[in-house]
A = this chain, B = another copy of it.
Amino acid sequence: MQSRTPASRTGRPRSAAADTAILAATRDALVELGWSKLTLGDVATRAGVAKTTLYRRWAGKPELVCDAVAELFDELELPDRGSLAADIEGVVLQFAAILARPEAKSGLMAVVAESTRDDALRERIRASIVERQMRLVLEGRARAQSRGELPAEPDPAESARTVDLIFDVVAGAVVHRTLVSGKPADEDWVHSFTRVLLLGLSGSSEQT
């Protein structure tokens, strides 16, 4: 998770149980206190470890919360539901369900806000949270292209731009709906959103 220590094979190993306890305690604290009132001392107490242990593993609150929130997105999957529309609706509903949880609401936006002035944190978020979501987009798109539902794009650069666009639209819309508008991304909304997105993507690639 944090810095690799390949050359250190001697000495007492770090407790793996402590890691999971700390991350779980962080999520509990996020639910009860929210980002701003969460303190590392409190998390250490909840996890049953010393505060110094926590500081030995994480540089600060943003890094800790980033890792704690990242685990929430482990459950994201993309089973083949037979059509691109069904695939999109399924994964968006999963994503919305995660974002509806209070620990995700409180933590995710705050960490992203911090990352605007911390390149290392931005990279950490990209690797541990964004990467996994992006992979679902890639997989779903490839599946749709093999079904013939989306046009193939031979140019890799153009293809990358399209994937980036899709990802920002999907993730951005769900996040904005949930956290800014403060309304649930329920089945009705997801259905309407998917219809708009599909129409937008399946259109011709003409450049105006």
Enumerate chain A interface residues (CB-CB to B < 8 A): 34-36, 85, 102, 105-106, 108-110, 112-114, 116-117, 122, 125-126, 130, 161-162, 164-165, 167-169, 171-177, 179-183, 188-189, 191-193, 195-203, 208
Contact = CB atoms under 8 A, between A and B. Distances in A.
Contacts of A102: 116-117
A197 B182 CA distance: 22
Interface residues of A, dominant DSSP:
helix
Q: Sorted from nearest, which 5 A-B pairs have the closest CB atoms?
A: A172-B176, A172-B172, A200-B200, A109-B113, A196-B200
A131 to B, nearest CB: 12
A7 B104 CA distance: 43
A21 B150 CA distance: 54
Number of copies: 2
A161 B193 CA distance: 11
Given A110-B110, A110-B113, A208-B85, A165 B192 contact: yes
A203 B208 contact: no
A35 B199 contact: no
Contact of A181 (B164, B192, B200, B202): B164
A114 B80 CA distance: 37
Nearest to A174: B172
A1 to B, nearest CB: 21
A35 B121 CA distance: 15
A109 B106 contact: no
A109 B175 CA distance: 12
8 contacts: A108-B113, A110-B110, A112-B113, A165-B189, A172-B173, A195-B203, A198-B200, A199-B201
A112 B199 contact: no
Given A35-B113, A112-B109, A117-B34, A171 B180 contact: yes
